[in-house]
Amino acid sequence: GENVEQHPSTLSVQEGDSAVIKCTYSDSASNYFPWYKQELGKGPQLIIDIRSNVGEKKDQRIAVTLNKTAKHFSLHITETQPEDSAVYFCAASRAGANNLFFGTGTRLTVIP
């Protein structure tokens, strides 16, 4: 089955700096890669996703890049703000499957 690894487990950045979280996956058939933000006591919220037919996707301060050959994808947050502080999870899914495989999460702290 799919194995998704995520690094780092914790990340602290100064407000205004950029944050990068990286994930690798093992199943070359995976083709859908969402990123979720989870605040304390709440369910995960989708912040951005990418499918395997594109290499990069951007939405304002958030971007995701995908390297299919290397089987890794990354989340980039620019101009970080204190409200970006949360736990971020990457995930992977394959076409025709009905499940998401989650990374282990990254606790991001943005220091004002």
- Tally of CB atoms within 10 A around 40: 7
Residue 42 binds another protein (CB under 8 A): yes
State which of residues 11, 49, 72, 78 lies at the interface with another protein (CB under 8 A). 49
Smaller CB separation from another protein, 27 or 49 = 49
3 state SS of 24:
strand
Residue 12 binds another protein (CB under 8 A): no
Nearest to 106 by CA among 10, 42, 3: 10
**Which amino acid type is present at position 45?**
Q
Q: Which two tokens stand for residue 25?
A: 């996956």
Residue 98 binds another protein (CB under 8 A): yes
Residue 11 binds another protein (CB under 8 A): no
| Residue 17 Cα distances to 3, 11, 26, 55, 95, angstroms | 30, 12, 31, 23, 35
Give the binding range for another protein (CB under 8 A) out of 13-21, 56-64, 74-82, 90-98.
90-98
Where does this chain bind another protein (CB under 8 A)?
34, 36, 41-46, 49, 89, 93, 95-100, 102-105, 107
